[in-house]
Structure 1
Amino acid sequence: MKQFMIKNGLVVAGGAIQGLGMGLFLFPHFIPSGGAGGIAVLLNYWFNMDMGIGLWIVNFSMLLLAVTYLGKRVTLWTIIGITVTSISIQLFEQIHIPNRNIFYDLVFGSVLLGTGIGLLMRQGVSNGGVGVIALIIASGKNISPGQPLFWINCCIFLITAVIIDWKIILLALTSQWISTRIIDLICQVTFHQSYTLGWRKKP
């Protein structure tokens, strides 16, 4: 029970921290936080859909893969994580910071994003969206999830840049570089949790 409560607290914290980075710092500049974030930005651009809701829809659509390849427990934890993230985004989007600086927002948002995702993946829980695919690849190839996550997101960023604005891809790639470094640092330690996947990072 103690282990379960610790895991639950870390998953909720990871989702909330991820939502803080997105909603307060990245999304106000339309900087995609990742593949799912990039799709959410496109949905907002095309249909004026709230990005928290859009992100939840994209994440939920990937849960079939999570059930098939990662198991029901991981899928349940992923639902909890993405729900907390979406709620956090909606809450933090309501906060307006005067005289914003895009450079500071980019750095702070990316560090928080990487910390949140890292906490989730450190528990063997996907952050939703293309994070499901990244976790599947990582568990199969014994590598850190930050690497496949980076390359998958880059492809989605390219599409977003073509449709909305090319400068977005520069901001998004910078954000991804910072956040994936944080993810890899958090996931660096070899681990195994009874409720999660376990993998060993290649030396």
Structure 2
Amino acid sequence: MHPANDNAIVLKSEIRNIIYILLGILSAGFGLKGFLLTNHFIDGGVTGISMLLTHIFGIPLSLLIVLINLPFVVLGYRYVGHLFAIKSALAIVGLSLCLVFVSYPDVTTDKMLTAIFGGVFIGLGIGLAMRGGSVLDGTEVAAVLVSKNYPLLKVSDVILLLNIIIFCTAALFLGVDVALYSILTYFSASKMIDFLLHGIEQYTGVTVVSTHSEEIRLAITEKLGRGVTIYQGKRGFGKRGEKTGEIDIIFTVVTRLEIPALRREVKLIDPHAFLIQQSIDDTDGGMVKRRSLH
């Protein structure tokens, strides 16, 4: 590929990332100012810590978001990369400025609607920023680094422990009702982030081990319209002294709705075929989208 084409692709990608980050800032700002702040609810993570301190001490949220996230941006610079750190720093400062200068309407005073939709818009903002290669909340960076230093703790465990502390503190200073609604806000935001990062169609990787691999390959490619990858393996199951030969192993990626059809086609060809399914968060390239068979 020519350098000019490479530069054009990179430029196009970065413009798309900037748009994602800008939309993420506006969405997160709307969730905070349009829903949570007026009802004294908080979110989880670093944003939740900032909001909690704002409610307790009256320190401006726009200032706390920058100050508390700053150490995590520095850690991101050291362990993730300078581009990630620069994008994240600009995104966090952008969110801070958005909270100061952008006016949002107070959408509702209903506590349930505030908790749910405040979380939705915050999650949408964080997810879009992550799509653009940055973060609006340094929790993920902190969790990854802690899990690296303490292998027994998973990233999800660190985030869970942090949020338990945050919401228990919120119950102490803001009241149990506010803490419970804030947990609902965090749950809504988390689900929205998952939705954005993992997509509507959750793909499943399927590995098929069968002596009828060629027939199965044709069924998947011609009947289901899916691409396959074939790699060689060696049968490991057998009695002592029994010869175990090489075998072709098929791997394909399908949506959850296509799994029954795939299993049916495989079992029609080989009732004894061995199938393994695994969840796939995201895909890129290859023949992932189902091609037309007409």
TM-score by length of 1: 0.78
Q: Relative to structure 1, is the Cα distance of residues 78 and 157 closer, same or farther in structure 2, using a 3 angstrom cutoff?
A: same
Aligned equivalent of 2:83:
73
C-alpha spacing 1:68/1:99, structure 2 compared with 1 (3 Å): closer
AA aligned opposite 1:126: V
Q: What is the CA–CA distance in structure 2 between the aligned matches of 1:88 and 1:159, rounded to whole Å?
A: 27
Distance 1:99 1:188 in 2: 30
Alignment length, in residue pairs?
189
Which of 1 and 2 has higher RCO (CA within 8 Å, sep 6+)?
Answer: 1
Instruction: Give the Cα separation in 2 of the matches to 1:54 and 1:101.
Output: 27
Quote the offset at 1:120 in angstroms.
1.6
The change in CA–CA distance for 1:128 and 1:177 in structure 2 (over 3 A counts) is closer
Contact 2:47 2:137 (8 Å CA) reproduced: no
Higher strand proportion, which one?
2
Aligned residue in 1 for 2:232 = none
Q: Distance in 1 between matches of 2:123 and 2:156?
A: 9
In terms of mean alpha carbon deviation, does 7-16 or 40-49 score higher? 40-49
User: Which region of structure 1 is more displaced relative to structure 2, 184-193 or 19-28?
Assistant: 184-193
Q: CA RMSD in A?
A: 3.0
The match for 2:132 is 123
Q: Letter of the 1:21 partner, please give it.
A: G
Shift of 1:28: 1.4
Matched residue SS, 1:32: coil
Secondary structure at 2:198's aligned position in 1? coil
Per-residue deviation, 1:14: 1.0
Q: Counterpart in 1 of 2:67?
A: 57
Higher helix fraction: Structure 1 or Structure 2? 1
- Aligned residue type for 1:44: T
- The structure with the larger Rg is 2
State how far apart, in whole Å, the 1-side matches of 2:132 and 2:104 are: 30
Matching residue of 2:50? 40
Tell me which of 25, 41, 47 is aligned to 1:15.
Answer: 25
Secondary structure at the aligned position of 1:31 is classed as coil
Q: TM-score, normalised by structure 2?
A: 0.56
